[in-house]
Structure 1
Protein backbone atom coordinates (compact mmCIF):
# COMPACT_ATOMS: atom_id res chain seq x y z
CA UNK A 1 0.00 0.00 0.00
CA UNK A 2 1.39 3.41 -1.03
CA UNK A 3 -0.33 6.53 0.30
CA UNK A 4 1.22 9.83 -0.72
CA UNK A 5 0.96 13.44 0.37
CA UNK A 6 -0.84 14.78 -2.74
CA UNK A 7 -3.59 12.19 -2.19
CA UNK A 8 -4.04 13.22 1.44
CA UNK A 9 -3.93 16.90 0.52
CA UNK A 10 -6.67 16.45 -2.09
CA UNK A 11 -8.83 14.39 0.29
CA UNK A 12 -8.52 16.94 3.08
CA UNK A 13 -9.23 19.87 0.74
CA UNK A 14 -12.43 18.22 -0.51
CA UNK A 15 -13.62 17.60 3.05
CA UNK A 16 -12.86 21.13 4.24
CA UNK A 17 -14.20 22.86 1.11
CA UNK A 18 -17.32 20.68 0.95
CA UNK A 19 -16.86 19.59 -2.65
CA UNK A 20 -14.45 18.80 -5.47
CA UNK A 21 -14.82 22.04 -7.44
CA UNK A 22 -14.22 24.23 -4.37
CA UNK A 23 -11.24 22.05 -3.41
CA UNK A 24 -9.81 22.44 -6.92
CA UNK A 25 -9.95 26.24 -6.58
CA UNK A 26 -8.34 26.03 -3.14
CA UNK A 27 -5.51 23.84 -4.41
CA UNK A 28 -5.04 25.57 -7.75
CA UNK A 29 -5.71 22.31 -9.60
CA UNK A 30 -8.26 21.07 -12.08
CA UNK A 31 -11.32 19.33 -10.68
CA UNK A 32 -10.43 16.16 -12.57
CA UNK A 33 -6.97 16.14 -10.95
CA UNK A 34 -8.50 16.43 -7.49
CA UNK A 35 -10.99 13.65 -8.28
CA UNK A 36 -8.18 11.45 -9.59
CA UNK A 37 -6.09 11.98 -6.44
CA UNK A 38 -8.97 11.10 -4.10
CA UNK A 39 -9.97 8.10 -6.22
CA UNK A 40 -6.40 6.79 -6.20
CA UNK A 41 -6.31 7.12 -2.40
CA UNK A 42 -9.56 5.16 -2.17
CA UNK A 43 -8.09 2.45 -4.39
CA UNK A 44 -5.04 2.22 -2.14
CA UNK A 45 -7.25 1.91 0.94
CA UNK A 46 -9.68 -0.40 -0.87
CA UNK A 47 -12.79 1.47 0.32
CA UNK A 48 -14.61 4.75 -0.35
CA UNK A 49 -13.67 7.74 1.80
CA UNK A 50 -16.36 10.16 0.63
CA UNK A 51 -20.06 10.16 -0.10
CA UNK A 52 -20.38 12.14 -3.34
CA UNK A 53 -23.25 14.41 -2.33
CA UNK A 54 -23.77 18.14 -1.84
CA UNK A 55 -21.99 18.88 0.36
CA UNK A 56 -19.55 15.98 0.27
CA UNK A 57 -19.57 13.81 3.42
CA UNK A 58 -16.99 11.41 4.82
CA UNK A 59 -17.66 7.70 5.13
CA UNK A 60 -16.78 5.92 8.39
CA UNK A 61 -13.33 5.16 6.99
CA UNK A 62 -12.92 8.72 5.77
CA UNK A 63 -13.85 10.09 9.18
CA UNK A 64 -11.40 7.70 10.80
CA UNK A 65 -8.40 8.74 8.74
CA UNK A 66 -9.24 12.46 8.73
CA UNK A 67 -7.28 13.43 11.89
CA UNK A 68 -4.29 11.38 10.73
CA UNK A 69 -4.36 13.08 7.32
CA UNK A 70 -4.36 16.47 9.06
CA UNK A 71 -1.45 15.43 11.27
CA UNK A 72 0.54 14.18 8.31
CA UNK A 73 -0.02 17.36 6.30
CA UNK A 74 0.72 19.54 9.31
CA UNK A 75 4.07 17.77 9.72
CA UNK A 76 4.89 18.19 6.03
CA UNK A 77 3.94 21.86 6.15
CA UNK A 78 6.16 22.37 9.21
CA UNK A 79 9.13 20.79 7.42
CA UNK A 80 8.54 23.01 4.39
CA UNK A 81 8.11 26.18 6.43
CA UNK A 82 11.17 25.54 8.64
CA UNK A 83 13.26 25.15 5.50
CA UNK A 84 11.71 28.33 4.04
CA UNK A 85 12.39 30.25 7.25
CA UNK A 86 16.06 29.26 7.20
CA UNK A 87 16.26 30.32 3.56
CA UNK A 88 14.46 33.60 4.34
CA UNK A 89 11.60 32.77 1.99
CA UNK A 90 8.83 31.74 4.40
CA UNK A 91 5.53 31.33 2.59
CA UNK A 92 2.31 29.44 3.16
CA UNK A 93 -1.09 29.74 4.75
CA UNK A 94 -1.89 30.03 8.46
CA UNK A 95 -5.49 29.17 9.39
CA UNK A 96 -6.35 31.41 12.34
CA UNK A 97 -9.38 30.88 14.60
CA UNK A 98 -10.86 33.50 16.91
CA UNK A 99 -14.11 34.48 18.61
CA UNK A 100 -16.53 36.85 16.84
CA UNK A 101 -15.68 39.87 19.03
CA UNK A 102 -11.94 39.39 18.61
CA UNK A 103 -12.37 38.63 14.91
CA UNK A 104 -14.42 41.77 14.27
CA UNK A 105 -12.55 44.04 16.67
CA UNK A 106 -8.92 43.05 16.02
CA UNK A 107 -9.12 41.01 12.84
CA UNK A 108 -9.23 43.72 10.14
CA UNK A 109 -6.31 45.71 11.59
CA UNK A 110 -4.18 42.61 12.19
CA UNK A 111 -4.89 41.18 8.74
CA UNK A 112 -3.95 44.51 7.14
CA UNK A 113 -0.78 44.63 9.24
CA UNK A 114 0.22 41.05 8.43
CA UNK A 115 -0.49 41.57 4.75
CA UNK A 116 1.96 44.47 4.74
CA UNK A 117 4.56 43.03 7.12
CA UNK A 118 4.44 39.38 5.95
CA UNK A 119 2.95 39.46 2.44
CA UNK A 120 4.30 35.99 1.63
CA UNK A 121 2.24 34.42 4.47
CA UNK A 122 -1.51 34.18 3.90
CA UNK A 123 -3.72 34.28 7.01
CA UNK A 124 -7.19 32.75 6.68
CA UNK A 125 -9.63 33.51 9.50
CA UNK A 126 -12.14 31.06 10.99
CA UNK A 127 -14.73 32.53 13.36
CA UNK A 128 -16.12 30.38 16.17
CA UNK A 129 -16.80 30.15 19.88
CA UNK A 130 -14.21 29.01 22.41
CA UNK A 131 -15.33 25.37 22.30
CA UNK A 132 -15.15 25.25 18.51
CA UNK A 133 -11.74 26.93 18.51
CA UNK A 134 -10.30 24.38 20.96
CA UNK A 135 -11.62 21.54 18.79
CA UNK A 136 -10.25 23.10 15.60
CA UNK A 137 -6.79 23.40 17.14
CA UNK A 138 -6.89 19.83 18.43
CA UNK A 139 -8.12 18.43 15.09
CA UNK A 140 -5.74 20.45 12.94
CA UNK A 141 -8.51 22.44 11.23
CA UNK A 142 -6.82 25.61 12.54
CA UNK A 143 -3.08 26.20 12.78
CA UNK A 144 -3.40 28.93 15.39
CA UNK A 145 -5.95 30.82 17.45
CA UNK A 146 -6.33 34.04 19.38
CA UNK A 147 -7.50 32.74 22.74
CA UNK A 148 -8.79 34.37 25.90
CA UNK A 149 -6.99 33.88 29.22
CA UNK A 150 -4.88 30.84 28.24
CA UNK A 151 -3.35 28.69 30.99
CA UNK A 152 0.07 29.88 32.23
CA UNK A 153 2.83 29.11 29.77
CA UNK A 154 0.51 28.64 26.80
CA UNK A 155 0.39 31.11 23.95
CA UNK A 156 2.16 34.38 23.21
CA UNK A 157 0.67 37.44 24.90
CA UNK A 158 -0.83 39.97 22.49
CA UNK A 159 -2.67 42.49 24.65
CA UNK A 160 -4.58 43.10 27.88
CA UNK A 161 -8.21 43.70 26.96
CA UNK A 162 -10.00 45.80 29.61
CA UNK A 163 -13.76 45.97 30.11
CA UNK A 164 -15.59 49.25 29.50
CA UNK A 165 -19.06 50.69 29.96
CA UNK A 166 -20.93 51.29 26.68
CA UNK A 167 -23.37 54.22 26.80
CA UNK A 168 -25.23 56.42 24.32
CA UNK A 169 -23.40 59.70 23.78
CA UNK A 170 -26.37 61.60 25.21
CA UNK A 171 -26.36 59.55 28.44
CA UNK A 172 -25.90 61.69 31.60
CA UNK A 173 -22.64 59.85 32.39
CA UNK A 174 -21.20 59.98 28.87
CA UNK A 175 -18.73 62.77 29.70
CA UNK A 176 -17.46 61.21 32.93
CA UNK A 177 -13.82 60.03 32.95
CA UNK A 178 -14.77 56.87 34.89
CA UNK A 179 -18.04 55.01 35.43
CA UNK A 180 -18.75 52.76 38.39
CA UNK A 181 -20.87 49.72 37.68
CA UNK A 182 -23.15 50.93 40.49
CA UNK A 183 -23.75 54.16 38.56
CA UNK A 184 -25.58 52.09 35.94
CA UNK A 185 -28.14 50.57 38.34
CA UNK A 186 -30.88 52.90 37.12
CA UNK A 187 -30.37 51.76 33.52
CA UNK A 188 -31.59 48.54 31.98
CA UNK A 189 -28.53 46.35 31.62
CA UNK A 190 -28.03 44.37 28.40
CA UNK A 191 -25.80 41.32 28.11
CA UNK A 192 -24.55 39.07 25.36
CA UNK A 193 -24.36 35.54 26.85
CA UNK A 194 -20.89 34.65 25.65
CA UNK A 195 -17.46 34.24 27.20
CA UNK A 196 -17.64 37.74 28.75
CA UNK A 197 -20.62 37.01 30.99
CA UNK A 198 -18.56 35.41 33.77
CA UNK A 199 -16.33 38.49 33.98
CA UNK A 200 -19.26 40.90 33.94
CA UNK A 201 -20.84 38.88 36.75
CA UNK A 202 -17.54 39.20 38.61
CA UNK A 203 -17.56 42.99 38.17
CA UNK A 204 -21.01 43.14 39.78
CA UNK A 205 -19.93 40.77 42.55
CA UNK A 206 -16.85 42.88 43.36
CA UNK A 207 -19.11 45.91 43.69
CA UNK A 208 -21.55 43.97 45.88
CA UNK A 209 -24.33 44.37 43.32
CA UNK A 210 -26.80 41.83 41.93
CA UNK A 211 -26.40 40.77 38.33
CA UNK A 212 -29.85 41.05 36.74
CA UNK A 213 -29.73 41.84 33.00
CA UNK A 214 -32.93 43.11 31.45
CA UNK A 215 -32.17 41.52 28.07
CA UNK A 216 -29.87 38.78 26.79
CA UNK A 217 -28.84 39.39 23.21
CA UNK A 218 -26.82 36.76 21.37
CA UNK A 219 -25.68 38.85 18.40
CA UNK A 220 -23.14 41.59 19.14
CA UNK A 221 -24.42 43.87 16.37
CA UNK A 222 -27.94 43.63 17.79
CA UNK A 223 -26.64 44.42 21.28
CA UNK A 224 -24.88 47.54 19.99
CA UNK A 225 -28.00 48.61 18.08
CA UNK A 226 -30.11 48.28 21.23
CA UNK A 227 -27.75 50.54 23.18
CA UNK A 228 -27.91 52.99 20.26
CA UNK A 229 -31.70 52.95 20.45
CA UNK A 230 -31.64 53.76 24.16
CA UNK A 231 -32.98 50.39 25.25
CA UNK A 232 -30.21 50.07 27.86
CA UNK A 233 -26.48 50.05 28.51
CA UNK A 234 -23.89 47.29 28.48
CA UNK A 235 -20.28 46.37 29.20
CA UNK A 236 -17.91 45.27 26.45
CA UNK A 237 -14.17 44.79 26.23
CA UNK A 238 -11.83 47.39 24.76
CA UNK A 239 -11.35 45.31 21.63
CA UNK A 240 -14.94 46.21 20.70
CA UNK A 241 -14.10 49.91 20.35
CA UNK A 242 -13.69 49.80 16.58
CA UNK A 243 -17.17 48.26 16.23
CA UNK A 244 -19.01 51.11 17.97
CA UNK A 245 -20.78 53.84 16.00
CA UNK A 246 -19.98 57.49 16.81
CA UNK A 247 -23.15 57.97 18.88
CA UNK A 248 -21.88 55.51 21.52
CA UNK A 249 -19.04 55.97 24.01
CA UNK A 250 -16.74 53.42 25.64
CA UNK A 251 -15.73 54.52 29.16
CA UNK A 252 -13.30 53.15 31.79
CA UNK A 253 -15.16 51.02 34.30
CA UNK A 254 -14.84 50.45 38.02
CA UNK A 255 -14.23 47.83 39.39
CA UNK A 256 -11.56 47.11 36.79
CA UNK A 257 -11.65 43.81 34.94
CA UNK A 258 -9.61 42.61 32.00
CA UNK A 259 -8.79 39.53 29.98
CA UNK A 260 -5.56 38.40 28.35
CA UNK A 261 -5.55 37.83 24.60
CA UNK A 262 -2.85 35.49 23.33
CA UNK A 263 -1.98 33.83 20.05
CA UNK A 264 -1.32 30.12 20.32
CA UNK A 265 -0.76 27.05 18.22
CA UNK A 266 -1.90 23.49 19.01
CA UNK A 267 -1.39 22.42 22.64
CA UNK A 268 0.04 19.13 21.38
CA UNK A 269 2.09 18.78 18.24
CA UNK A 270 4.27 21.28 16.38
CA UNK A 271 3.26 24.86 15.68
CA UNK A 272 3.21 26.21 12.16
CA UNK A 273 6.61 27.99 11.98
CA UNK A 274 4.98 31.27 10.92
CA UNK A 275 2.79 31.47 14.04
CA UNK A 276 5.48 32.82 16.36
CA UNK A 277 6.53 35.36 13.75
CA UNK A 278 2.93 36.51 13.33
CA UNK A 279 2.41 36.66 17.11
CA UNK A 280 5.46 38.85 17.68
CA UNK A 281 4.43 41.11 14.81
CA UNK A 282 0.84 41.35 16.15
CA UNK A 283 2.02 42.19 19.67
CA UNK A 284 4.12 45.08 18.31
CA UNK A 285 1.17 46.27 16.22
CA UNK A 286 -1.22 46.29 19.20
CA UNK A 287 1.33 48.04 21.40
CA UNK A 288 1.53 50.81 18.80
CA UNK A 289 -2.26 51.13 18.76
CA UNK A 290 -2.45 51.29 22.57
CA UNK A 291 0.18 54.05 22.52
CA UNK A 292 -2.20 56.20 20.49
CA UNK A 293 -1.35 55.27 16.94
CA UNK A 294 -4.13 55.18 14.37
CA UNK A 295 -2.65 52.11 12.71
CA UNK A 296 0.20 49.66 13.20
Structure 2
Protein backbone atom coordinates (compact mmCIF):
# COMPACT_ATOMS: atom_id res chain seq x y z
CA UNK A 1 0.00 0.00 0.00
CA UNK A 2 1.38 3.39 -1.03
CA UNK A 3 -0.37 6.51 0.26
CA UNK A 4 1.17 9.80 -0.82
CA UNK A 5 0.84 13.42 0.22
CA UNK A 6 -0.92 14.70 -2.95
CA UNK A 7 -3.66 12.13 -2.31
CA UNK A 8 -4.09 13.24 1.30
CA UNK A 9 -3.96 16.90 0.32
CA UNK A 10 -6.72 16.40 -2.26
CA UNK A 11 -8.85 14.40 0.18
CA UNK A 12 -8.61 17.10 2.86
CA UNK A 13 -9.32 19.88 0.35
CA UNK A 14 -12.50 18.17 -0.81
CA UNK A 15 -13.68 17.63 2.79
CA UNK A 16 -12.91 21.22 3.84
CA UNK A 17 -14.31 22.83 0.69
CA UNK A 18 -17.39 20.61 0.57
CA UNK A 19 -16.91 19.49 -3.03
CA UNK A 20 -14.46 18.65 -5.81
CA UNK A 21 -14.91 21.85 -7.79
CA UNK A 22 -14.26 24.12 -4.79
CA UNK A 23 -11.30 21.95 -3.75
CA UNK A 24 -9.81 22.23 -7.24
CA UNK A 25 -10.04 26.02 -7.08
CA UNK A 26 -8.44 25.99 -3.64
CA UNK A 27 -5.55 23.78 -4.77
CA UNK A 28 -5.09 25.43 -8.16
CA UNK A 29 -5.70 22.10 -9.92
CA UNK A 30 -8.24 20.80 -12.39
CA UNK A 31 -11.30 19.10 -10.96
CA UNK A 32 -10.40 15.88 -12.76
CA UNK A 33 -6.94 15.90 -11.14
CA UNK A 34 -8.46 16.27 -7.67
CA UNK A 35 -10.99 13.54 -8.43
CA UNK A 36 -8.21 11.25 -9.67
CA UNK A 37 -6.09 11.84 -6.55
CA UNK A 38 -8.98 11.01 -4.21
CA UNK A 39 -9.98 7.98 -6.25
CA UNK A 40 -6.40 6.67 -6.21
CA UNK A 41 -6.31 7.08 -2.41
CA UNK A 42 -9.56 5.13 -2.13
CA UNK A 43 -8.09 2.37 -4.32
CA UNK A 44 -5.04 2.16 -2.07
CA UNK A 45 -7.28 1.84 0.98
CA UNK A 46 -9.67 -0.52 -0.82
CA UNK A 47 -12.74 1.39 0.37
CA UNK A 48 -14.54 4.69 -0.31
CA UNK A 49 -13.66 7.71 1.82
CA UNK A 50 -16.30 10.11 0.51
CA UNK A 51 -19.97 10.09 -0.29
CA UNK A 52 -20.32 11.99 -3.57
CA UNK A 53 -23.23 14.24 -2.61
CA UNK A 54 -23.83 17.99 -2.23
CA UNK A 55 -22.03 18.80 -0.05
CA UNK A 56 -19.56 15.93 -0.09
CA UNK A 57 -19.37 14.06 3.21
CA UNK A 58 -17.05 11.44 4.64
CA UNK A 59 -17.82 7.75 4.98
CA UNK A 60 -17.15 5.99 8.29
CA UNK A 61 -13.66 5.11 7.04
CA UNK A 62 -13.15 8.64 5.75
CA UNK A 63 -14.01 10.05 9.17
CA UNK A 64 -11.41 7.75 10.75
CA UNK A 65 -8.75 8.66 8.20
CA UNK A 66 -9.43 12.41 8.39
CA UNK A 67 -7.55 13.33 11.62
CA UNK A 68 -4.52 11.26 10.61
CA UNK A 69 -4.42 12.93 7.21
CA UNK A 70 -4.50 16.33 8.91
CA UNK A 71 -1.65 15.37 11.23
CA UNK A 72 0.41 14.06 8.31
CA UNK A 73 0.05 17.27 6.30
CA UNK A 74 0.62 19.39 9.38
CA UNK A 75 3.91 17.59 9.97
CA UNK A 76 4.95 18.13 6.36
CA UNK A 77 4.14 21.85 6.60
CA UNK A 78 6.20 22.05 9.78
CA UNK A 79 9.21 20.45 8.08
CA UNK A 80 8.88 22.82 5.13
CA UNK A 81 8.56 25.86 7.37
CA UNK A 82 11.49 24.85 9.58
CA UNK A 83 13.60 24.72 6.44
CA UNK A 84 12.24 28.07 5.30
CA UNK A 85 12.91 29.56 8.73
CA UNK A 86 16.50 28.34 8.59
CA UNK A 87 16.99 30.29 5.39
CA UNK A 88 15.05 33.29 6.73
CA UNK A 89 12.35 32.97 4.08
CA UNK A 90 9.25 32.23 6.13
CA UNK A 91 6.44 31.23 3.79
CA UNK A 92 3.29 29.17 3.80
CA UNK A 93 -0.37 29.25 4.71
CA UNK A 94 -1.68 29.44 8.29
CA UNK A 95 -5.32 28.60 8.91
CA UNK A 96 -6.48 30.84 11.75
CA UNK A 97 -9.74 30.29 13.62
CA UNK A 98 -11.63 32.56 15.99
CA UNK A 99 -15.05 33.68 17.16
CA UNK A 100 -17.24 36.13 15.20
CA UNK A 101 -16.58 39.19 17.36
CA UNK A 102 -12.81 38.67 17.21
CA UNK A 103 -12.93 37.88 13.47
CA UNK A 104 -14.94 41.00 12.77
CA UNK A 105 -13.36 43.39 15.25
CA UNK A 106 -9.68 42.45 15.64
CA UNK A 107 -8.66 40.18 12.77
CA UNK A 108 -9.15 42.60 9.81
CA UNK A 109 -6.51 45.00 11.15
CA UNK A 110 -4.13 42.12 11.82
CA UNK A 111 -4.65 40.67 8.35
CA UNK A 112 -3.84 44.03 6.78
CA UNK A 113 -0.72 44.33 8.95
CA UNK A 114 0.42 40.76 8.28
CA UNK A 115 -0.03 41.26 4.54
CA UNK A 116 2.39 44.19 4.68
CA UNK A 117 4.76 42.84 7.35
CA UNK A 118 4.85 39.16 6.34
CA UNK A 119 3.90 39.04 2.64
CA UNK A 120 5.17 35.47 2.22
CA UNK A 121 2.72 34.12 4.81
CA UNK A 122 -0.90 33.65 3.79
CA UNK A 123 -3.47 33.66 6.59
CA UNK A 124 -6.84 32.00 5.96
CA UNK A 125 -9.55 32.80 8.51
CA UNK A 126 -12.14 30.34 9.85
CA UNK A 127 -14.99 31.83 11.89
CA UNK A 128 -16.92 29.75 14.42
CA UNK A 129 -18.23 29.72 17.96
CA UNK A 130 -15.88 28.95 20.88
CA UNK A 131 -16.50 25.19 20.84
CA UNK A 132 -16.00 24.99 17.06
CA UNK A 133 -12.75 26.97 17.23
CA UNK A 134 -11.34 24.67 19.94
CA UNK A 135 -12.38 21.57 17.99
CA UNK A 136 -10.81 22.89 14.75
CA UNK A 137 -7.54 23.56 16.56
CA UNK A 138 -7.56 20.09 18.09
CA UNK A 139 -8.46 18.13 14.93
CA UNK A 140 -6.15 20.03 12.57
CA UNK A 141 -8.73 22.00 10.59
CA UNK A 142 -6.99 25.12 11.94
CA UNK A 143 -3.27 25.62 12.56
CA UNK A 144 -3.79 28.45 15.05
CA UNK A 145 -6.57 30.25 16.87
CA UNK A 146 -7.30 33.39 18.82
CA UNK A 147 -8.79 31.87 21.97
CA UNK A 148 -10.72 33.63 24.70
CA UNK A 149 -9.37 33.13 28.22
CA UNK A 150 -7.53 29.85 27.50
CA UNK A 151 -5.80 27.94 30.33
CA UNK A 152 -2.19 28.95 31.03
CA UNK A 153 0.16 27.65 28.36
CA UNK A 154 2.20 28.63 25.31
CA UNK A 155 0.80 31.50 23.33
CA UNK A 156 0.82 35.25 23.13
CA UNK A 157 -1.74 37.56 24.67
CA UNK A 158 -2.91 39.93 21.98
CA UNK A 159 -5.25 42.07 24.09
CA UNK A 160 -7.28 42.55 27.24
CA UNK A 161 -10.78 43.06 25.90
CA UNK A 162 -13.11 44.85 28.33
CA UNK A 163 -16.90 44.80 28.36
CA UNK A 164 -19.04 47.84 27.57
CA UNK A 165 -22.70 48.81 27.60
CA UNK A 166 -24.19 49.27 24.14
CA UNK A 167 -26.87 51.99 24.14
CA UNK A 168 -28.69 54.17 21.62
CA UNK A 169 -27.31 57.72 21.60
CA UNK A 170 -30.70 59.02 22.73
CA UNK A 171 -30.69 56.75 25.81
CA UNK A 172 -30.85 58.72 29.10
CA UNK A 173 -27.44 57.33 30.12
CA UNK A 174 -25.71 57.87 26.78
CA UNK A 175 -24.03 61.08 27.99
CA UNK A 176 -22.52 59.48 31.10
CA UNK A 177 -18.80 58.66 31.25
CA UNK A 178 -19.58 55.28 32.82
CA UNK A 179 -22.66 53.08 33.16
CA UNK A 180 -23.47 50.87 36.13
CA UNK A 181 -25.21 47.66 35.04
CA UNK A 182 -27.70 48.25 37.88
CA UNK A 183 -28.87 51.43 36.12
CA UNK A 184 -29.96 49.32 33.15
CA UNK A 185 -32.20 47.05 35.22
CA UNK A 186 -35.39 48.67 33.85
CA UNK A 187 -34.28 48.28 30.21
CA UNK A 188 -35.03 45.20 28.17
CA UNK A 189 -31.76 43.28 28.01
CA UNK A 190 -30.63 41.55 24.80
CA UNK A 191 -28.08 38.76 24.68
CA UNK A 192 -26.29 36.71 22.07
CA UNK A 193 -25.92 33.18 23.52
CA UNK A 194 -22.27 32.60 22.69
CA UNK A 195 -18.97 32.65 24.57
CA UNK A 196 -19.69 36.08 26.08
CA UNK A 197 -22.81 35.01 27.95
CA UNK A 198 -20.92 33.53 30.90
CA UNK A 199 -19.02 36.76 31.42
CA UNK A 200 -22.17 38.87 31.16
CA UNK A 201 -23.78 36.60 33.74
CA UNK A 202 -20.75 37.28 35.95
CA UNK A 203 -21.23 41.05 35.58
CA UNK A 204 -24.84 40.70 36.74
CA UNK A 205 -23.80 38.44 39.60
CA UNK A 206 -21.15 40.90 40.78
CA UNK A 207 -23.79 43.64 40.75
CA UNK A 208 -26.22 41.48 42.73
CA UNK A 209 -28.68 41.27 39.82
CA UNK A 210 -30.59 38.36 38.36
CA UNK A 211 -29.67 37.63 34.76
CA UNK A 212 -33.00 37.68 32.89
CA UNK A 213 -32.50 38.64 29.22
CA UNK A 214 -35.65 39.54 27.29
CA UNK A 215 -34.39 38.38 23.89
CA UNK A 216 -31.69 35.93 22.77
CA UNK A 217 -30.22 36.65 19.35
CA UNK A 218 -27.58 34.45 17.73
CA UNK A 219 -26.28 36.88 15.11
CA UNK A 220 -24.25 39.89 16.27
CA UNK A 221 -25.54 42.10 13.44
CA UNK A 222 -29.13 41.33 14.47
CA UNK A 223 -28.31 42.15 18.09
CA UNK A 224 -26.88 45.54 17.10
CA UNK A 225 -29.87 46.24 14.84
CA UNK A 226 -32.27 45.53 17.70
CA UNK A 227 -30.46 48.04 19.92
CA UNK A 228 -30.66 50.54 17.04
CA UNK A 229 -34.39 49.94 16.86
CA UNK A 230 -34.78 50.79 20.54
CA UNK A 231 -35.86 47.27 21.51
CA UNK A 232 -33.36 47.07 24.34
CA UNK A 233 -29.73 47.38 25.43
CA UNK A 234 -26.89 44.91 25.64
CA UNK A 235 -23.29 44.40 26.70
CA UNK A 236 -20.54 43.80 24.13
CA UNK A 237 -16.80 43.45 24.34
CA UNK A 238 -14.63 46.38 23.29
CA UNK A 239 -13.36 44.46 20.26
CA UNK A 240 -16.80 45.09 18.72
CA UNK A 241 -16.26 48.86 18.60
CA UNK A 242 -15.45 48.99 14.88
CA UNK A 243 -18.82 47.34 14.16
CA UNK A 244 -20.92 49.89 16.06
CA UNK A 245 -22.94 52.34 13.90
CA UNK A 246 -22.83 56.08 14.73
CA UNK A 247 -26.30 56.16 16.31
CA UNK A 248 -25.14 53.77 19.07
CA UNK A 249 -22.50 54.22 21.74
CA UNK A 250 -20.28 51.85 23.74
CA UNK A 251 -19.67 53.05 27.30
CA UNK A 252 -17.44 51.73 30.09
CA UNK A 253 -19.36 49.42 32.38
CA UNK A 254 -19.42 48.71 36.09
CA UNK A 255 -18.72 46.16 37.48
CA UNK A 256 -15.63 45.93 35.31
CA UNK A 257 -14.55 42.68 33.70
CA UNK A 258 -12.52 41.72 30.67
CA UNK A 259 -11.31 38.73 28.69
CA UNK A 260 -7.90 37.74 27.36
CA UNK A 261 -7.46 37.25 23.62
CA UNK A 262 -4.58 34.82 23.07
CA UNK A 263 -3.02 33.67 19.80
CA UNK A 264 -2.01 30.04 20.20
CA UNK A 265 -1.46 26.73 18.43
CA UNK A 266 -2.57 23.15 19.10
CA UNK A 267 -1.70 21.25 22.28
CA UNK A 268 -1.23 17.80 20.81
CA UNK A 269 0.98 18.38 17.76
CA UNK A 270 3.85 20.64 16.64
CA UNK A 271 2.97 24.22 15.85
CA UNK A 272 3.18 25.58 12.34
CA UNK A 273 6.48 27.51 12.54
CA UNK A 274 4.93 30.62 10.98
CA UNK A 275 2.71 31.06 14.07
CA UNK A 276 5.68 32.40 16.00
CA UNK A 277 6.34 34.97 13.30
CA UNK A 278 2.69 36.02 13.15
CA UNK A 279 2.42 36.25 16.94
CA UNK A 280 5.49 38.44 17.28
CA UNK A 281 4.35 40.61 14.38
CA UNK A 282 0.88 40.99 15.93
CA UNK A 283 2.35 41.97 19.30
CA UNK A 284 4.45 44.71 17.71
CA UNK A 285 1.48 45.97 15.68
CA UNK A 286 -0.87 46.14 18.67
CA UNK A 287 1.78 47.79 20.85
CA UNK A 288 2.25 50.52 18.21
CA UNK A 289 -1.46 51.12 17.80
CA UNK A 290 -2.41 50.75 21.47
CA UNK A 291 -2.64 54.50 22.09
CA UNK A 292 -5.46 54.76 19.58
CA UNK A 293 -6.99 51.34 20.14
CA UNK A 294 -9.44 50.08 22.74
CA UNK A 295 -7.22 47.21 23.89
CA UNK A 296 -4.52 46.91 26.48
CA UNK A 297 -1.58 44.71 25.51
CA UNK A 298 0.01 43.66 28.77
CA UNK A 299 3.33 42.06 29.50
CA UNK A 300 5.92 40.28 27.35
CA UNK A 301 4.96 37.38 25.14
CA UNK A 302 5.43 33.96 26.71
CA UNK A 303 7.74 31.48 25.04
CA UNK A 304 6.29 29.77 22.01
CA UNK A 305 6.94 26.18 20.97
Q: TM-score range by the shorter chain?
A: over 0.9
| Residues 45, 111 of structure 1: alpha-carbon distance in 2 compared, 3 angstrom cutoff | same
1:55-87 per-residue CA deviation (whole Å, 9 max, x = no partner) reads 222222222111111110000000001111111
Figure out how many residues of one structure are paired with residues of the other and give that number.
294
Which 5+ residue runs of structure 1 have no aligned equivalent?
A: none
1:146 aligned onto 2:146: yes
Post-superposition offset of 1:293: 5.9
1:221-263 per-residue CA deviation (whole Å, 9 max, x = no partner) reads 1111111111111111100100100111111111110000001
Alignment partner, residue 270 of structure 1: 270
1:135 aligned onto 2:135: yes
Which 5+ residue runs of structure 2 have no aligned equivalent?
A: 295-305
The answer to whether the 8 Å contact 1:159/1:283 transfers is: no
Alignment partner, residue 93 of structure 1: 93
1:249-280 per-residue CA deviation (whole Å, 9 max, x = no partner) reads 11111111000000111111111111121122
1:128-159 per-residue CA deviation (whole Å, 9 max, x = no partner) reads 11111111111100111111000012431110
CA distance in 2, matches of 1:182, 1:289: 33
**SS state of the match for residue 145, structure 1?**
strand
**SS state of the match for residue 291, structure 1?**
helix
RMSD of Structure 2 on Structure 1 (CA) = 1.5
Stretches of 4+ moved more than 3 A in 1? none
CA distance in 2, matches of 1:165, 1:50: 48
| Residues 214, 58 of structure 1: alpha-carbon distance in 2 compared, 3 angstrom cutoff | closer
The answer to whether the 8 Å contact 2:20/2:31 transfers is: yes
Alignment partner, residue 188 of structure 2: 188
CA distance in 1, matches of 2:166, 2:293: 22
Post-superposition offset of 1:98: 0.6
CA distance in 2, matches of 1:84, 1:283: 22
Alignment partner, residue 9 of structure 1: 9
The answer to whether the 8 Å contact 2:130/2:194 transfers is: no
